[in-house]
Amino acid sequence: MSAPKAPVNPNLKIMAGALVCEDCELIGDITIGARTVIHPKARIIAEAGPIIIGEFNIIEELVTITNKSSTDANSGKVLIIGNNNVFEVGCHVEAIRIGDHNVIESKAKVGSKVEISNGCIVGCGCILNMNEALPENTVVYGDKCERRIQRERPPAQMLQIDFLTRILPNYHYLMKPNLNVNVRAPVKK
């Protein structure tokens, strides 16, 4: 029995050390950084421009990340996702830019006019669709999307990434990396 083959995307760049399950949907010009884990059934769609995903990110099942233009002026813009971010099950993200050390929790929705800085948490089921830039270490929570500032940013998920890189290959077919770049250790801040 041979492994099922995902459709070939000539614009897909996977860095060495990244773990990308074949059972995910990757459309358009996408770059996936080293040690990033993309679970099965995740969808990443670069419709209006490229998507660059940094290192040490976790993108869980049923997550949708889209670079979608809300106007023609947005067309061709690059969606840059920083390092050490976690996108939990079923969240939907169309943000302009996402910094480092953020957590987008389950079923949260981030619209195409939102910019997320560093160390932010968007809580379960919260919907952000106004034109705004979240300040560093902002926590959005509750059914009214209340906000507060936390003292420290969320920690990097290195133990979770190590666990997933050992377990996922036992149960899923993986895409092969096509870019060889030295994997560097994360910087602790």
Write out pLDDT tens, residues 64-88.
999 986 555 556 789 999 999 999 9
Query: What is the average pLDDT value for the chain, to the nearest integer?
Result: 90
Q: What is the pLDDT of residue 73?
A: 57
pTM over 0.75: yes
Of the candidates 61, 96, 83, which has an alpha carbon nearest to the alpha carbon of residue 153?
83
Of the candidates 76, 75, 91, which has an alpha carbon nearest to the alpha carbon of residue 43?
91
pLDDT at position 189 over 80:
no
pLDDT at position 49 over 80:
yes
Q: What is the pLDDT of residue 1?
A: 41
State the Cα–Cα distance between residues 180 and 16, nearest whole angstrom. Answer: 5
Ranges 134-138, 152-156, 158-162: which has the least confidence:
152-156
pLDDT, average across residues 6-18:
85
pLDDT, average across residues 155-183:
89
Domain 12-175 = CATH 3.20.20.140: no
State the Cα–Cα distance between residues 97 and 138, nearest whole angstrom. Answer: 15
Of the candidates 3, 2, 76, 22, which has an alpha carbon nearest to the alpha carbon of residue 12?
22
Element (H, E) at 158: helix 158-171
What is the percent of the chain where pLDDT is above 90? 80
Per domain, the residue ranges of the chain are 12-175
Position 99 confidence tier, pLDDT thresholds 50, 70, 90 = very high
pLDDT at position 19 over 90:
yes
